Chains A and B, each alone.
Chain A
Amino acid sequence: MAHIQVPEGVPGIRSLVMFRPETGKHLYELAQVLLRGESLLSEAERELIAAYVSSRNECMFCMSSHAAASRCLYGDERNIVDDVLNNVDHSRISNKLKALLHIAGKVQIRGKEVTEEDIAKARKEGAHDREIHDTVLIAATFSMFNRYVDGLASWTPTDPAAYEEMGKRMAKGYVMPTEVRMTESPEVGK
């Protein structure tokens, strides 16, 4: 049960932003701009960074939902997501993305962990300032979302099918849940 009185049967961050839409709308806008806005990184890659950081923070809800969104966006290459979550170094992604995930992993620990060598490595693999910026901010943002979701003990569904549905919806973009959408939403029935 969540630590505070949030709408019942609504999972994760959705229940929290319905409890407090005044802050929720800015959190959704941030997710939309960061993960769906203009970037040199693909939407699938950005969702993968989000899932990777959430996995390191052991946030089951964010990890499962953003991994599902990333799989959906990768399409035929969807297996990349689980490969990366199992072992970044052995996965089939580009060296540039590996270097960026390495930076994201450092940010997850603490900002100061990111070294000049980490940045130089990413640059050598072709990463631009913009991609390094976006990687750091995605990792920082998920260090917030993960703590928000787990710090209030929001409901984490355990059925993988629930996340697959979420992933499809998230792939289209981040829209604040409303009371009306809540009753229509497939995952609400439990």
Chain B
Amino acid sequence: MPHINLPDLPGIRGPMAFSPETAKPLNELAEILLRDDNSTLSRGERELIGTYVSSLNDCFFCQNVHGALAGHYLECDINAIDAVKKDYQSANISNKLKSLLSIAASVQKGGKNVTAYQIEKARSEGATDKEIHDTVLIAAAFCMYNRYVDGLATWAPQDRQFYVNRAPQRAEEGYIDFDLYK
């Protein structure tokens, strides 16, 4: 049961319905960070960064929502996403994305953990300043979303297939134009 009296919705939807004034910038931030077409990181790659950070933060709701979205965009099943969470270095992803996931993991621990070496490594794999910026901000933003969801003890559907089934619809509607109650 959530710590406070929230509308009966799963995960972040409860607190968002409780506090629409703060939900607006939270959703707008997610939309530009994860879905904006003016990015050289694909939607799948960006969702994967969010998923990985959410798994490091042990946030069940966020890692399943965003893991299912990453799987949808990258056209792979949830087992492949789980493999990335478990050991991204051995996963079938680009070296650039691996270097960005390494930066995201450091951000999750604390901003100061990001080293000049990690940044150089990402650059040598072809990452631009904007990609490095967006990786750091996606990782930081999920450290916020995860804490919002778990800090209020929101509930989440336990069947992981639920998230996979909903991913195509969620990918289509995005983070701004959607009905919290559907």
Contacts and interface: CB of A to CB of B under 8 A. Distances in A.
Interface residues of B, number: 51
A44 interface: no
A111 B21 contact: no
Interface string A127-168: 001001100110111011111111111000000000000000
A38 B20 CA distance: 12
A151 B116 CA distance: 10
B113 to A, nearest CB: 8
Nearest to B57: A110
A49 B58 CA distance: 24
Contacts of B148: 111, 136-137, 140
Contacts of A188: none
Given A3-B132, A129-B4, A30 B149 contact: no
B180 interface: no
Contact of A112 (B58, B107, B112, B134): B58
Contact of B132 (A4, A107, A145): A4
A110 B150 contact: yes
Interface in A98-124: 103, 106-107, 110-112, 114, 116, 119
B137 interface: yes
Contacts of A136: 147-148, 151-152
B151 A148 contact: no
A20 B133 contact: yes
A26 B38 CA distance: 17
Given A136-B147, A137-B15, A141-B144, A151 B111 contact: yes
Interface in A1-44: 3-5, 16, 19-20, 22-23, 26-27, 29-30, 33-34, 37-38
A147 B111 contact: yes
Contacts of A145: 140
Interface in B4-53: 4-5, 15, 18-19, 21-22, 24-26, 28-29, 32-33, 36, 38
Nearest to A19: B133
6 contacts: A23-B33, A29-B25, A140-B147, A144-B140, A148-B136, A149-B111
Interface of B: 3-5, 15, 18-19, 21-22, 24-26, 28-29, 32-33, 36, 38, 57-59, 103, 106-108, 110-112, 114, 116, 119, 129-130, 132-134, 136-137, 139-141, 143-153
